[in-house]
Amino acid sequence: MPSAGEHAALPPVVFLVGPTGAGKSELATGLARRLNGEIVSADSRMLYRGFDIGTDKPSSAVRTVVPHHLIDVADPDRPWSLAEYQAAALECIAQIAARGRLAFCVGGTGQYIFALLEGWDIPPAPPSPALRIRLEERAAAEGSAVLYGELAGLDPDAAAKIDPRNVRRVIRALEVVLSTGKSFSTQRMRKEVPFRPFLLGLNRPRPELYARADARIDQMFASGWEEEVRALLAKGYSPQLPAFTALGYGSIVRHLLGEITLEECVAEIRRATRILIRHQANWFRADDPQIHWFTAAPDLEDRSEQFLRQNFLS
């Protein structure tokens, strides 16, 4: 454990967390402008080039004003592991500190956030391609819900923090449990983190989150989301790639293949977004004492800046 003096000397990092649709990106951009900051994305799908509209990536204009990191760093057919993300994010944080600027880690991927915050020692087990293939075949034949149920029985703590729809992560957790005989959750050994964290949470009433999410989905379609997916498929990217598990992309693929209508596609994405919002509450709990929660309001940027200056940056 570092001493109080050593801890104070570590570079500060503001983690801005909360559910989809709360307004984290807008708040982070405003705070970064005010506080000489740079943003490190904690979104597992913003990593991939070409997945722009559906992931609601910040515009090039915004990224010109405030530097953003870990966005558009990989082609869709080159999946990033959690370990790769953690290492890259830590490097970004170190470089931002070396420039004398403040790092903001922003996103809704809870696994990414807590891998950094808690210093997870990753990976807990080497990949087992043969076992993974068998699990993928089972998922296709029996359905992903069956595998998720199996994981919940073997390792309920890990299952509680994995979206049941994220087949890739369910399979990875099962792969670890079955190949090592130990739970996935207990193998996350922790080490000291090389920064001093402070967590801000941003939330809105659940009905407001749903309404904002619906409006954003409509705007994404109006902005050419279907065309974006069509272009990705035309480039030869398989819809079976992990990148296509980004919210909504699989539904649009099914629509483009004629399996569902556009109306069914939109409804499916809306339902999935609501599930995601509820699932994110498992990662970012309202009663978590380390998260300082704010509710969106017109003076949010002023209040949160003042709070950071008084409680973290002074």
Q: Rounded distance, CA 255 to CA 269, Å? A: 11
pLDDT value of position 199: 97
Give the domain range for residue 179: 129-187
Q: Is residue 2 part of a domain?
A: no
Cβ-proximal residues to 28 (8 Å cutoff; 6+ apart), any chain: 16, 39, 104, 106
Q: Cα(262)–Cα(85) distance, rounded to whole angstroms?
A: 34
Contact 104, 25 (CB under 8 A): no
What does pTM read for this prediction?
Answer: 0.82
- Residues 71, 168: one domain? no
136-170 pLDDT tens trace: 888 888 888 999 999 999 999 888 878 887 787 88
Domains in the chain: how many in total?
A: 2
**Residue 5 maps to a domain:** no
Q: Are residues 96 and 207 in the same domain?
A: yes
**Does residue 1 lie within any of the structural domains?**
no
Over the stretch 206-236, which tens digit does the pLDDT of each residue have? 999 999 999 999 999 999 999 999 999 999 9
- Check pLDDT > 70 for residue 188: no
Whether 175 and 288 share a structural domain: no
Neighbours of 138 (CB within 10 A): 16
